[in-house]
Amino acid sequence: MTKVVLVSAVALIDADGRVLLAQRPEGKPMAGLWEFPGGKVEPGESPEAALIRELHEELGIETWNSCLAPLTFASHAYETFHLLMPLFACRKWQGVPHPKEGQTLAWARPNQLRDYPMPAADIPLIPIIRDWL
């Protein structure tokens, strides 16, 4: 039986309509690939709570449940696990995103998202974000 891993992710959208991407640092699985910020949902945690925690830990910013709009989700079978990833849209947060875990950040226009190599699970999310913005 394949383990299902629940990961919460966000499309942070700035005032210019750009989306924040984070590059996975060396030493992590899929290092070098770009992804939407977020992380694993811990037992007993909601996807929104996980995202609020991860954004604070990884980017040093604060946001709130009321600012996270469910957008779509990814369901993808990797070799060793199945990823289920709700993707939220967020336009309001406090602070300036900065890398706290060695990752590189980039603000990308929706039509540039395909220029960034991403994990297989993230790729189908691109046209949905593009159409939504």
Q: What percent of the chain has a predicted confidence (pLDDT) above 70?
A: 100
Q: Please check whether the domain covering 3-132 is classified as CATH 3.90.79.10.
A: yes
Instruction: Note the pLDDT tens digit of each residue in 123-132.
Output: 999 999 999 8
Closest CA to 106 of 36, 10, 8: 36
Across the chain, mean pLDDT equals 95
Q: Which two tokens stand for residue 133?
A: 């913005």
Q: Which two tokens stand for residue 73?
A: 């989700």
Report d(CA 87, CA 17) in Å as an integer. 17
Cβ atoms of 76 and 83 closer than 8 Å: yes
Instruction: Note the pLDDT tens digit of each residue in 73-114.
Output: 999 999 999 999 999 999 999 999 999 988 999 999 999 999
Report d(CA 131, CA 69) in Å as an integer. 15
At residue 57, the 3 state secondary structure works out as helix
Confidence of residue 63 (pLDDT cuts 50, 70, 90): very high
For residue 86, give every residue at least 6 positions away whose Cβ sits within 8 Å of its Cβ, in sequence order, or none.
Answer: 8, 9, 47, 70, 73
Q: Where are the domains of the chain?
A: 3-132
Instruction: Please state, in angstroms and as integers, the Cα–Cα distance from residue 40 to each residue in 50, 59, 61, 86, 111, following that order.
Output: 7, 15, 18, 11, 28
Burial label, 105 (beta-carbon count in 10 A; 0-12, 13-18, 19+): middle
Instruction: Kindly report whether the global pTM for this prediction surpasses the value 0.85.
Output: yes
